[in-house]
């Protein structure tokens, strides 16, 4: 917001308190004038109070601008901070490390993927922008369907969890043929059917070997990629994305995030923050309570 806009807003607020009111002109043009109130019975104490109000309003305007333009991370909204506390409590209950840093404007998401009998359970953790819409797997008597996803779908910005089972578990995701990364990500972007993409390429892959403080002894690879999406309407949409790949349980797991090529210039930092926050836990985590809770819902339905 520009300085002039903030100062003008503060001036209007102060003016209404300081005995000024707005009145439309008698002219046919949509103009606005300021006129003094007829009330002259204002004591000095009132004047002082109004001067203080004006000073505080202007000071607040400058303070707001200073924080917004300084690059300093603003505090998380109360609901986001509360959400992080609850998620950290859940992580501790699983015996897992807590979240340390959440980028400004984001909140964490923690979900058990694989509560249904047709899947093996994994705990998926990621950060996403506060305004993004979250979708979670659905469960019924036949099992589980869908995945963990968040996005601003109208703009084509998404972050999606994907499970790749053909290769099974990989002990060291760093020490594989780089074509595996391509296989996993092609499968991820083409889940809705074949021949819906072209020109796919993994631009680079970066093992997170120097980030043990964040990842511990778990191995993650960050991949940059691009492809052209072929829409049902016949359009071709160039897309850019980043993904984080790991292997927990009998599969390779990925969180991939992408935007259109044009928007990627604006969203790249956000997408990298999302995939860098990705954690996936399987081995050694006890999911019995989550699975029992899920199964009990359908057992109750059957008994009715």
DSSP states of 149-184: EEEEGGGTEEEEEEEE-TT---S-TTSS-THHHHHH
Burial of 290 (0-12, 13-18, 19+ CB in 10 A): middle
At 138 the three-state DSSP class reads strand
Bridge pairing between strands 252-260 and 236-246: antiparallel
CB 226 within 8 A of CB 202: no
Instruction: Record the tokens describing residue 271, joined without a space.
Output: 């997408």
Q: Measured between alpha carbons, how far apart are the two ends of the chain, in Å?
A: 58
* Strand locations in the chain (E): 20-24, 32-36, 106-113, 122-129, 133-135, 138-140, 143-145, 149-152, 157-164, 197-207, 221-230, 236-246, 252-260, 279-281
The dihedral built from the CA positions of residue 236, 237, 242 and 243, taken in this order, carries a sign that is: negative
Q: How confident is the model at residue 182, as a pLDDT?
A: 97
The dihedral built from the CA positions of residue 141, 145, 149 and 152, taken in this order, carries a sign that is: negative
Q: What is the C-alpha to C-alpha distance for residues 64 and 192, in angstroms, rounded to an integer?
A: 45
Query: Which residue reads 């996993």 in tokens?
Result: 184
Q: What is the C-alpha to C-alpha distance for residues 47 and 179, in angstroms, rounded to an integer?
A: 74
Domains and CATH numbers, the chain: 3-69 (no CATH), 78-291 (3.40.1000.10)
Q: What is the C-alpha to C-alpha distance for residues 256 and 258, in angstroms, rounded to an integer?
A: 7
Q: How confident is the model at residue 213, as a pLDDT?
A: 63
Instruction: Record the tokens describing residue 296, joined without a space.
Output: 């009990």
Q: How confident is the model at residue 191, as a pLDDT?
A: 82
Alpha-carbon Rg of the chain, whole angstroms? 27
Q: What is the C-alpha to C-alpha distance for residues 164 and 162, in angstroms, rounded to an integer?
A: 7
- 150 — phi, psi (to 5°)? -140, 150
Consecutive 10-residue averages of pLDDT for the chain (304 residues): 40 34 36 34 40 41 37 46 86 91 94 94 97 96 95 97 96 94 96 79 92 76 96 91 95 97 97 96 89 76 52
- Cβ neighbours for 264, distance < 8 A, ≥ 6 positions apart: 239, 240, 241, 271
Burial of 227 (0-12, 13-18, 19+ CB in 10 A): buried
Q: How confident is the model at residue 25, as a pLDDT?
A: 36
């Amino acid at each position: 917001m520009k300085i002039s806009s903030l100062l003008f807003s503060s001036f209007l607020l102060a003016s209404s308190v300081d005995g000024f009111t707005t009145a439309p002109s008698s002219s046919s043009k949509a103009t606005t004038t300021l006129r003094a109130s007829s009330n002259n019975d204002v004591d000095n104490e009132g004047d002082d109070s109004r001067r203080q109000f004006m000073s505080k309003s202007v000071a607040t305007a400058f303070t707001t601008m200073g924080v917004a333009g300084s690059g300093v991370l603003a505090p998380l909204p109360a609901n986001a901070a509360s959400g992080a506390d609850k998620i950290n409590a859940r992580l501790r209950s699983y015996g897992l490390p807590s979240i340390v840093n959440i980028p400004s404007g984001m909140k964490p998401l923690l979900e058990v993927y694989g509560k249904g009998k047709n899947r093996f359970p994994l705990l998926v953790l990621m950060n996403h922008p506060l305004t993004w819409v979250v979708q979670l797997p659905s469960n019924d008597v036949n099992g589980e369907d869908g995945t963990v996803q968040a996005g601003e779908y109208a703009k084509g910005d998404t972050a999606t969890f994907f499970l790749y089972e053909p290769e099974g578990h990989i002990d060291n995701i760093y020490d594989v043929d780089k074509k595996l990364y391509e296989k996993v990500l092609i499968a991820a972007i083409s889940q809705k059917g074949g021949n819906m993409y072209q020109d796919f390429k993994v631009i680079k892959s970066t093992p997170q070997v120097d980030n043990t403080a964040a990842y511990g002894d778990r191995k993650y690879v960050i991949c940059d990629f691009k492809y052209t999406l072929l829409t049902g309407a016949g359009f071709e949409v160039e897309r850019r994305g980043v993904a984080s790949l790991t292997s927990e349980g009998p599969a390779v797991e990925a969180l991939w995030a992408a935007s259109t090529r044009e928007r990627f210039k604006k969203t790249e930092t956000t997408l990298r923050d999302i995939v860098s926050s990705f954690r996936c836990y399987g081995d050694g985590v006890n999911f019995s309570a989550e699975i029992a809770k899920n199964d009990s819902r359908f057992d109750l339905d059957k008994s009715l």
